[in-house]
A and B are shown apart, each in its own frame.
Chain A
Amino acid sequence: MAFAVRLVNLEVKPEKCTPLVEDPKYRKSYEKLKELLRPMVREIEVRSEKKTVVIGGEYVMFRHEMTYLNPPPIAIDVDDTMDKEELAKRIDIAENFRYEYIGRELTLDLIAVRSVSNDPEQFKKTVRFVSSNTSLPLVLCSLNPDVIKAGLAEVPGGRPLLYAATKDNWREMAEIAHKHDLPLVASSPGNLDMLMTLANTLEKYGLSDLALDPGTFAGSKGLSYTLNAFTMLRWRACNEDCRLAGYPLVGTPISVWSSMNGDKRAKAWWEAITAAMLITRYVDLLILHSIEGWVLLPLVILRFNIYTDPRKPVSVEPGLRIIGSPNENSPVMVTGNFALTYYIVTGDIEAGKVNCYLLVVDTEGLSVESAVPGRKFLPEKVAEVLESSGVAEKVKHRILIIPGKAARLAGDIEDATGWKVMVGPLDSKDIPKFMEERWRPEVIEELMRG
């Protein structure tokens, strides 16, 4: 039963039900179930020998209708005129980019190899170098089918994405994709009729793992087209059951680098903005040129946020946490159970090498800032967790340190718990300093006496 519930909530796929898949007598039911649960946007897989990246597979237009499921993978480009040093540097960033955010590791996903030389041999060499130095799957980018074919020979055991079939090269590209069973992007910048024409033709060619590139125009002449094109395509797929629009959408903020004027920083700035716009509206795969941390950091966090399941608050269990090795004189601090609040606060306490007891109050997954005015940071809840934690037996004092943003509740918390309240700093990064200045025997004594 649990499986069925998870199935209907799209948390698990019918393939995972082994008897259903393996037993021939369920074959028919399995096929039907699969059809019933098929996403509005086709899901395609791109693979290296070590990793699989999923693109598309979405069911809804707006995240509050259910949830978005597959965060759009980010591909970082390299090209076949870069020397080994530059290639190695970019591969290293794509491969090893890590940012720790509320206990998760945010990473990049793919490498897009472009052919600037338009020379099959040179492309082949570059693809060989890249694929032997990365575990990430590849996107092979060239509009010249001979170049793509040459590159393909260097990705044994992988399933790269091919970019792209256009109105001029579609037959040869379709033939390559068909022969090797590879996913293929149909590209028609600025012309959605041609995009549908390509999708329709490639389908008839026998291809089903397609992705659509309506063109990512930026700046004054094109940002509006881009936003409208992505929105219309996704609306057609999700709300009007248009099969041809129901393929993953490819966004190429990298095009800012060839279409906009300005210095490198200005281009990187607009690339970040164009990518953020597409993450908010419907992109299923992004190809980027910038490798700067300040461009990628807001994008990977925004992507994580937008693809968070709105049906489940991002919260941690309320209760007592012991940080470091506290003793009977150590402080007792209070915070909310929004995951982000919790990870930042514990991070700051740990970084400051403060030994303490931390009481995590059930604020229904809201931050302290929202929970206080929203009446989710309740004195009774503080009392509840204080009681159940048994921390009263662990410390000699009777002082709670509450977040500065909950200062307003100091009196009520004292009433509800019978403990004295010390109002802590507004930002948890100041906890170590606060401890040094305020958590002194004389202050504690005075507070306990008064």
Chain B
Amino acid sequence: MSSLEEALRSKLPEFLGSKLAEALEKYGELILEDVEIEVDELELILRPGAVVPALKPPVEVKPLKLIETKFEKPKMEWTGKVVEVKLGATRSEGGTRDRVLVVGGETVPAFYAFAGSMSHPPVVAMDVFDMRIRLPKAIRVHFEDVMEDPAEWARRCVEKFGAEMINLHLVSTDPYIKDTPPSKAAKTVEEVLQAVKVPLCVGGSGDPVKDVEVFKKVADVAEGERIVINSLNLDMKLDDIGPYLKDKDCVVIAFTPMDLDKARELNRKLYDYLPKERIMMDTNTAGIGYGIEYGFTVMERARLAALMGDKELQHPIVAGVTNAWAAREAWIKMDPYWGPREIRGPIWETITGLVALLAGADYFMMMHPFSIKTLKEIIDYLSKSPFEVEETLPDWVSAKLG
């Protein structure tokens, strides 16, 4: 008796539902001899449809005319909904921002227009740093003269490049860099709030102890503006910073490094202190060639799980697309065939953003003006109805192409 067969028989129904089990019944005499297998070793990934026999009918009469056939749209039901998170506060809400942006609210996977209506368009925010940092040349040329002045840098992003939001990164507070004191960092935040009127997101240095102190001071000076704090993680004293940020009306980004269980755990912990509609989550983003597939799959799984009802993952997703520039192909000088880095960098960032967009990201942190412009165009194109396309695709098959 083949134990493979036994294993399949005993394990399949629970994995695959009744359909395959029935099909397997039909193949009752499936026998592999001299084979032993432990059930634990099986990673069963067969899908129900895989057992439907191929139809390659013997041709009796070749059809003389087209056999009219309808395409049926997929039927699907999603029961979960991503919470809507409001970013920024206008005067009427006690702040001084010129707009409030809303992210989240999805009830279907990203751009499944055929399955349901789309929610709020994703927000593309531009990164600003509180000190001169090393940036690839292709980015630096746009900000060279304002890199000592975060307020001017932010103004450049909004006025020249149309940033919808600013991500201010207080990297200088890092104890290993400049160890800027929290009060001084908060001053920078005030200056940026003065310089631009779009909603603001403020990031720390990544030091779990220092960040708590920095975030408190930042929340003090930005009270009422509904700023976004980037970010809280499992290494922080959440019982200290959580309630503080709640009282100051902040939104938080919950950061976990490409691990859904940790993402759930962190969100669960944050629920003790913050309302759900004040939490976005960053499951970590990597660029093309640098682990993009991990970030993509974690993000896609998070969103699908949320829509299937996993309440702990029903939060808007943040994508740090600027990470794309970590790929050396984005900035290093290469043989001329690969093109100038001034275009390799932006295409790297744009495609990294596009992949996150397709996985379900809602809030984008980006750097290169042309990548941002393109991603916004893509969002605009993908937000249009898919059903109003002209049937005649301009001919590429026989056209002379440039």
Contacts and interface: CB of A to CB of B under 8 A. Distances in A.
Nearest to B402: A264
Contacts of B347: 269, 272, 294-295, 298
B141 interface: no
Contacts of B348: 298
Contact of A220 (B29, B296, B351, B380): B380
Nearest to A309: B293
B383 A224 contact: yes
A258 B296 contact: no
B71 A294 contact: no
Contact of A227 (B48, B53, B292, B386): B386
A128 interface: no
B297 A244 contact: no
A252 B396 contact: yes
Interface string A73-108: 000010101000000000000000000010000000
Interface string A55-72: 000011011111000000
Given A167-B66, A223-B381, A407 B176 contact: yes
Nearest to A222: B389
A347 B49 CA distance: 45
B277 interface: no
A355 interface: no
Q: Interface size for chain A: under 10, 10 to 19, 20 to 34, or 35 or more residues?
A: 35 or more
A10 interface: yes
A257 B29 contact: no
A1 B391 CA distance: 53
Interface stretch (B30-38, B144-152, B180-188, B219-227): B30-38
A240 B296 contact: no
Contact of A228 (B56, B111, B400): B111
Nearest to A246: B49
Contact of A64 (B55, B300, B374): B300
A287 to B, nearest CB: 8
B14 interface: no
Nearest to A254: B396
A64 B297 contact: yes
A37 B44 CA distance: 11
Nearest to B49: A241
B76 interface: yes
Contact of B56 (A164, A195, A208, A237): A208
A196 B69 contact: yes
A269 B64 CA distance: 43
A39 B36 contact: no
A124 interface: no
B354 interface: yes
Interface stretch (B121-129, B210-218, B338-346): B338-346
A156 interface: no
Interface string A15-43: 00000000000001100110111111000
A293 B289 contact: no
B337 A293 contact: yes
A196 B389 CA distance: 18
Interface stretch (A198-206, A323-331, A438-446): A198-206
B328 A429 contact: yes
B401 A374 contact: no
Contact of B358 (A237, A259, A281): A281
B335 to A, nearest CB: 8
A294 B340 CA distance: 8
Given A201-B67, A302-B351, A227 B382 contact: yes
B35 A33 contact: no
Contact of B293 (A28, A239, A308): A308
Interface in B374-390: 374, 377-378, 380-390
B399 to A, nearest CB: 5
A197 interface: yes
A8 interface: yes
Q: Which of B56, B390, B393, B400 has the most CB of A within 10 A?
A: B393
Contact of A199 (B46, B69, B292): B69
A243 interface: yes
A321 to B, nearest CB: 21
A403 B47 CA distance: 44
Contacts of B393: 189-190, 215-217, 222, 255, 259
Given A241-B49, A293-B337, A305 B288 contact: yes
Q: Which of A141, A197, A228, A276 has the most CB of B within 10 A?
A: A228
A414 interface: no
B385 A224 contact: yes
Nearest to A265: B343
Contact of A1 (B35, B291, B328): B35
27 contacts: A9-B45, A36-B24, A38-B50, A59-B47, A64-B301, A115-B398, A142-B397, A171-B64, A193-B68, A196-B71, A200-B69, A204-B57, A204-B67, A220-B384, A222-B390, A224-B381, A227-B358, A240-B75, A241-B48, A257-B401, A277-B378, A289-B396, A292-B339, A298-B351, A302-B355, A306-B292, A306-B296
Give the top 6 A-B pairs by smallest Cβ distance, nearest first.
A294-B339, A206-B59, A241-B49, A228-B386, A293-B338, A192-B71
Given A273-B351, A373-B233, 5 more contacts: A101-B289, A227-B382, A244-B69, A276-B355, A373-B206
Interface of B: 4, 23-24, 27, 29-32, 35-37, 41-57, 59, 62-64, 66-76, 111-114, 176, 206, 233, 235, 257-259, 284, 286, 288-293, 296-297, 300-301, 304, 326, 328-329, 332, 334-335, 337-340, 343-344, 347-348, 350-351, 354-355, 358, 374, 377-378, 380-402
